[in-house]
Structure 1
Amino acid sequence: MKITPEQEKSIITEILTRLDVSKEHAEIVAEVTLDADLKGFTSHGIGRFPQYIKGLESGTIKTQGEVEIENETVSTALLNGNHLFGQLVAYKGMELAIEKAKETGIGMVGIHDSNHFGVAGYYSDMAINEDMIGIVTTNTEPAVAPIGGKIPILGTNPIAIGIPSHKHYVSVDMATSASARGKLLEAARRGEEIPENVALDCEGRPTINPQEALKGSILPFGAHKGYALAFMIEILAGPLVKAAFGTGVKGTANPSEMCTKGDLMLAIDPSHMVDLDIFKDQVDALIGEIKSTDNVFIPGDMEVMNIKKHQSNGIEIDDKLCQQFKDISEELNIDLDGIF
């Protein structure tokens, strides 16, 4: 079945407020979740929402408290998320990075003691909307084995980069593994196979079974290149921001464990380096040169296409996920007539 974007935001906000989440925080979670689904990152959209409910139930996601600034300079800050919703903490983190970048040209904010924050690209978009470059990285529970090994030590460690432009949405948001873990969880929920050359089972053998892959390891994308990038992000989103790293990272996929991962948010104001309009003109010139060669895509084109499609046609919800929402809503005495 399908639901509209408005229905998705409404039901998420309603469920969270019934669970003592403030309306402001609930609306941010709903906005980030919907952003993932509209862009086609369904593995990080509404399909992840039941995980957040389990986190609330187990106490690993807190509804009370404040995001705390532990260290701060004119261009940097370190935030303690106090285990509030990851979406809220990341939103506050990028908001602060943007504020600092307006003043000094660059803002860098590290985060620890947060939670799974959805899609990284939502936060780099926040920078784009302020005519800034946004860069977001985070580490996750171990899912990727080092090259030559079969024991997961690194996370899927995504990176998102957004660039302001006059005419185009320019953004990349990707895991450094051959697949995001969320896509494996989604395939397992739907009873589907995963593509070849994505994952290994616990014996180090290639597998297309998502359950076996979740017990084993996901391959890095591009072999040693993805591995090297995941390794570097593990440090930037771990030791640099007072968060866990390697096998010490927990709670991004298992909501019963307190989350120990870290995030790093950067906002860069091009106007502190060059004329902003000239910068954006040159970004568009590069895009024009690339698109003039053939009918090709730039990073961000697919997301724009998906947003238009899902705004017009709705967002697909599989039967198992639909039942999970019915169960959650029944327990909270929420009427889902007309939605599910």
Structure 2
Amino acid sequence: MMKIMMDNETALVKEILKELGASKEDQELVAEATVDADLKGFTSHGLGRFPQYLISIKAGTINLDENITIEKETPAMALINGNSGFGQAVSYKAMQIAIKKAKEMGIACVGVHNTNHFGVTGFYSDLALRENCIGLVIANTDPAIAPIGGKVPLIGTNPIALGIPSDSYITVDMATSVTARGKILESKRKGLDLPDGWALDANGNPTNDPEEALKGSILPFGGFKGYALSLLIEILTGPLVQAGYGHEVTGTASPDKNCTKGDLYIVIDPSKFGDFDEFKANTEDFISQVRSTGENIPVPGDLEVKRVKEAETNGISIDEKLYEQLKRICDDLNIDLDSYLEE
């Protein structure tokens, strides 16, 4: 098993993108988001997902030249056309606009269409935390969840991330399915079976085979509750932001197709509701109450903090199949992959 340290992963991603003609800004943003995913343990959305972006670049579904276009705007909202740019770059810019507007208006909402897969949803809600704001991010994806009682996937795994600014790291980042599609893809790459209760095959039967799961559907988390939440997110990131929905959504799991998904970024400035330090103190007081109810009581965000510390110290693992994918990419670009890795 090979490993790569955080700084080397950043340098590797930037070097690959540079050779492919990406702008310096895009290199920085894609690298930061990719490493963030791996540090938090979302390896299915980090370097493991990176080869997908290169397929999109070669297919022309990621535009290396265009910048975002603000199509509609008020003091508290904006609708953005991503012009098929890197999802990471488009999303970063959308969140920065939402943060700026929230600091002026108290709350802001920015919708995005014509973008691309952006990695881990929580990376963007974290941007709000850095500015002492609450960040909420939702998105839709290629169909993966069949409606309750159905067999045909129609709804995406539709992630949601919510972060609360405080002295602790309080955040949740999850798919509305039992697992993200990226983890199914990662299991397929590694040749691993899926746990029970994750997916159905094309005939609606339970399956542990990732190949069959990708032909079938992923189950929503929590039965009807997860299904309902995923369905509503589909509307908020499809019709609302003038993006694709249902069968129209492509590009998040099919990198050679134009990406038609949508995103929604909501930011709240707590200081507009009252004294920010008081808000933060009360939040920490509540977290203390939660932890005092037993031994080792977890709070959303604890696991990510632990994973980041471990990954920063020990590096990020690269399995054999991913190594082979990256080796082919680097060899084509005359990049010495092994110089970035450690045994």
TM range (shorter): over 0.9
Give the letter for the 1:287 counterpart.
Answer: I
Tell me, in whole angstroms, the C-alpha distance in 1 between the residues paired with 2:114 and 2:201: 30
Q: Point out 4+ residue stretches in structure 1 off by more than 4 angstroms.
A: none
Structure 1, residues 151-181: CA drift from partner, whole Å, max 9, x if none? 100000000000001x200000000000100
Tell me, in whole angstroms, the C-alpha distance in 1 between the residues paired with 2:40 and 2:161: 14
TM-score normalised by length of structure 2: 0.98
Tell me, in whole angstroms, the C-alpha distance in 2 between the residues paired with 1:262 and 1:79: 10
| Residue 334 of structure 1, CA deviation | 1.2
Structure 1, residues 197-255: CA drift from partner, whole Å, max 9, x if none? 01000000000111100000000000000000000000000011010101110000111
Q: State the percentage of identical aligned residues.
A: 57
Give the letter for the 1:301 counterpart.
Answer: D
Give the letter for the 2:284 counterpart.
Answer: D
What corresponds to 2:183 in structure 1?
Answer: 183
**1:134-283 alignment, distance < 5 Å:** 134-165=135-166, 167-283=167-283
Long gaps (5+) in structure 2: none
Tell me, in whole angstroms, the C-alpha distance in 2 between the residues paired with 1:335 and 1:222: 45
Tell me, in whole angstroms, the C-alpha distance in 1 between the residues paired with 2:188 and 2:251: 19
Tell me, in whole angstroms, the C-alpha distance in 1 between the residues paired with 2:288 and 2:247: 44
What corresponds to 1:71 in structure 2?
Answer: 72
Tell me, in whole angstroms, the C-alpha distance in 2 between the residues paired with 1:124 and 1:105: 16
| Residue 273 of structure 1, CA deviation | 0.9
Give the letter for the 1:215 counterpart.
Answer: K
Question: 3-state DSSP class of the match of 1:53?
Answer: helix
Structure 1, residues 19-45: CA drift from partner, whole Å, max 9, x if none? 110111111000001000000111111
What corresponds to 1:13 in structure 2?
Answer: 14
Question: 3-state DSSP class of the match of 2:162?
Answer: strand
Residue 81 of structure 1 pairs with residue 92 of structure 2: no
Give the letter for the 1:48 counterpart.
Answer: R
Tell me, in whole angstroms, the C-alpha distance in 2 between the residues paired with 1:146 and 1:23: 42
Give the letter for the 1:241 counterpart.
Answer: V
Which segment drifts farther, 329-338 or 236-245?
Answer: 329-338
Residue 117 of structure 1 pairs with residue 108 of structure 2: no
| Residue 338 of structure 1, CA deviation | 2.2
Structure 1, residues 71-121: CA drift from partner, whole Å, max 9, x if none? 000010000000000000000000000000011001110000000000010
What corresponds to 2:297 in structure 1?
Answer: 296
Give the letter for the 1:105 counterpart.
Answer: G
Question: 3-state DSSP class of the match of 1:147?
Answer: coil
Tell me, in whole angstroms, the C-alpha distance in 2 between the residues paired with 1:336 and 1:164: 38
Question: 3-state DSSP class of the match of 1:239?
Answer: coil
Tell me, in whole angstroms, the C-alpha distance in 2 between the residues paired with 1:272 and 1:154: 36
Cα RMSD (Å) of the superposition?
0.6
Tell me, in whole angstroms, the C-alpha distance in 2 between the residues paired with 1:337 and 1:160: 35
| Residue 186 of structure 1, CA deviation | 0.1
Tell me, in whole angstroms, the C-alpha distance in 2 between the residues paired with 1:163 and 1:330: 43
| Residue 339 of structure 1, CA deviation | 2.0
Tell me, in whole angstroms, the C-alpha distance in 2 between the residues paired with 1:17 and 1:283: 43
What corresponds to 2:25 in structure 1?
Answer: 24
| Residue 274 of structure 1, CA deviation | 1.6
Long gaps (5+) in structure 1: none
Aligned residues: 339
Give the letter for the 2:128 counterpart.
Answer: A
Tell me, in whole angstroms, the C-alpha distance in 1 between the residues paired with 2:324 and 2:8: 16
Tell me, in whole angstroms, the C-alpha distance in 2 between the residues paired with 1:253 and 1:83: 15
Tell me, in whole angstroms, the C-alpha distance in 1 between the residues paired with 2:173 and 2:164: 12
